[in-house]
Amino acid sequence: MSVINFEFRNEVLKHNASLSYCYQCSTCSGGCPVALLTEGGYNPRKIIEEAILGLQDKLVQKQDPNPWLCSTCQTCVELCPQKVEITEILTLIKNECFNIGNVPEAFISQGKAVLENGVALPYSKAILTRREKLGLPSIKTAPIDEVKKILQETKFENHIPKE
Ligand code: SF4
Ligand code: SF4
């Protein structure tokens, strides 16, 4: 049985008060491409409902539904009649998941790639040479020093598996 955690609910509300405007109409889930692909297995309305109820164990420990499946396409945010900032709320939930190590390996790999190369998906040497031959502009990367500072603040490196 799920336990209501008022402290967690208040934390989400403090982070984003728009949570309280949700009247559970399901417009977000109806327009969500991931909900469509997973045949309702992923369901943003349900995530918002669990956040309103303060069901931290379901959202963070069990990840039911799994917040990492959101592609951040913002369709739900555009469609929501109550202007609930769903993706912002999802960010807080994902941060909570991250803090207890409940984070998919692929996200850790992408973070590691940004930390090392300034991009999430580094280009191969062959691609870079071909781009140069085609006269395409050089690829801009994020300033690694600044990325490092941000990731240190989030203690990201503690989650990188030791090789
Ligand atoms: S569309 Fe907005 S109001 Fe409707 S269920 Fe989703 S978050 Fe709640
Ligand atoms: S932002 Fe996430 S929850 Fe919203 S419609 Fe896109 S995939 Fe679905």
| pLDDT tens by residue, the chain, 163 residues | 778 899 999 999 999 999 999 999 999 999 999 999 999 999 999 999 999 999 999 999 999 999 999 999 999 999 999 999 999 999 999 999 998 989 999 999 888 888 888 888 888 999 999 999 999 998 888 888 888 888 888 888 877 766 6
* CATH class of the domain comprising 6-99: mainly alpha
**Given the CA of residue 74, which atom of ligand 2 is nearest to it?**
1
Nearest CA to ligand 1 atom 4: 25
Give domain limits for the chain. Answer: 6-99, 105-159
Query: From the CA of 35, which ligand is nearest?
Result: 2
- Cis amide linkage into residue 44, ω under 30° from 0: no
26: left (phi over 0), alpha (psi -120 to 50) or beta: left
Q: What is the Cα–Cα distance from 87 to 11, expressed in whole angstroms?
A: 16
Q: What is the Cα–Cα distance from 126 to 27, expressed in whole angstroms?
A: 45
27 CA → ligand 1 middle, Å: 6
**CA neighbor of 3 nearest in space, from 58, 48, 52, 63:** 58
Q: What is the Cα–Cα distance from 117 to 113, expressed in whole angstroms?
A: 6
156 CA → ligand 1 middle, Å: 32
Question: For residue range 99-119, what is the model confidence (pLDDT) as tens digits?
Answer: 898 999 999 988 888 888 888
81 CA → ligand 2 middle, Å: 15
Cβ of 86 closer than 6 Å to ligand 2, yes or no, is: yes
Cβ of 74 closer than 6 Å to ligand 2, yes or no, is: yes
25 CA → ligand 1 middle, Å: 5
Cβ of 34 closer than 6 Å to ligand 2, yes or no, is: yes
**Given the CA of residue 44, which atom of ligand 1 is nearest to it?**
6
45 CA → ligand 1 middle, Å: 6
Q: At what angle do helices 6-15 and 44-53 cross, to 10 degrees?
A: 120
Q: pTM of the prediction?
A: 0.84
